[in-house]
Structure 1
């Protein structure tokens, strides 16, 4: 089932997250097709010297470091908040609270997990709508940014960043 986002003109367009996944899946099919047709093998394309991320810090086939893990986790969490329902059921509210609780106990970085657990106690999750959850998560992310010496993000722009794309059209 394809999900759709509605832009400011009320037009429906494929969900960015789903579209990106489908693009990725198509790319993976062509990699495997090339392998089965005698082209470059998948293993030859996954080498420790081939960067995966734009930063070049993460290499294919190698364990991620805390920076890549953190960046990936924040993208997942913000995207979850962006697609969270505007009118969630009680079960959906409980599920997201449970998810964050479990994350605070199982996150691979012990220091980060403990910090998340403390933050959840100080400012409990607000999950009454996508907007509430997105803003709560942005405040949490900004607290972490301050702790690690990064600039704060303008929380009025969370939907542009993780749901709709920038107003200048650069994500289209």
Structure 2
């Protein structure tokens, strides 16, 4: 569920100041912390402190009058960046597919379709949510959720994740192994 400024909007502030790559602006024109990786956020803050140009936008984005120092890379009590949010979300979604019924009732399919619709509208990174909605709404219908069974839903979720991986230039996962990765554990016993 990740997106970058280049795919969802401008990477400049309303005053024309150029932002570092990966900084996503929110709908209000300010940098979106939830949609931006921690590395890009730190680059923006560093650029702002060295040039003084982006300081106003960065300060508004952080809701302070001064730019705080970037957190140490190992700090875990800060708001999630887009990468941490994405990893956590994919863990949740794949685990959801792993616990989905082997054969889903019509009611369960309706509930899941409703969940996916709500999820794609309420996801905290608006750019990511928009990308997911657009992917599911592909005019060919090939990305419509397949919900009749755990196997079908798991395959669909893996394909959705790989679509994001391709967009971000990340390695794709071999969907033949989604169930071992997310439900049963690897056959070599490393999860036992």
Question: Is the TM value for this pair above 0.5?
Answer: yes
For Structure 1 versus Structure 2, the TM-score category normalised by the shorter chain is 0.5 to 0.7
Once the two structures are superposed, the pairs formed by residues 91-106 of structure 1 within 5 Å of their partners are 91-106=107-122
The alignment of Structure 1 onto Structure 2 pairs a total of residues equal to 117
Partner of 1:59: 75
Q: Which has the higher contact order (CA 8 A, sep 6+)?
A: 2
Which of 120, 123, 130 in structure 2 is aligned with 1:107? 123
2:88 aligned with 1:72: yes
RMSD of aligned alpha carbons: 1.3
2:160 aligned with 1:140: yes
- Give 1:119 deviation, angstroms: 1.0
- Give 1:132 deviation, angstroms: 0.3
TM-score (norm 2): 0.59
Partner of 1:121: 137
| CA distance in structure 2 between the partners assigned to 1:100 and 1:58 by the alignment | 32
Partner of 1:154: 174
Structure 2: stretches of 5+ with no match in the other structure: 1-71
TM-score (norm 1): 0.65
Sort the Cα spacing of 1:96 and 1:81 in 2 relative to 1 into closer, same or farther, 3 A: same
| CA distance in structure 1 between the partners assigned to 2:73 and 2:113 by the alignment | 32
Structure 1: stretches of 5+ with no match in the other structure: 1-55
- Give 1:158 deviation, angstroms: 0.4
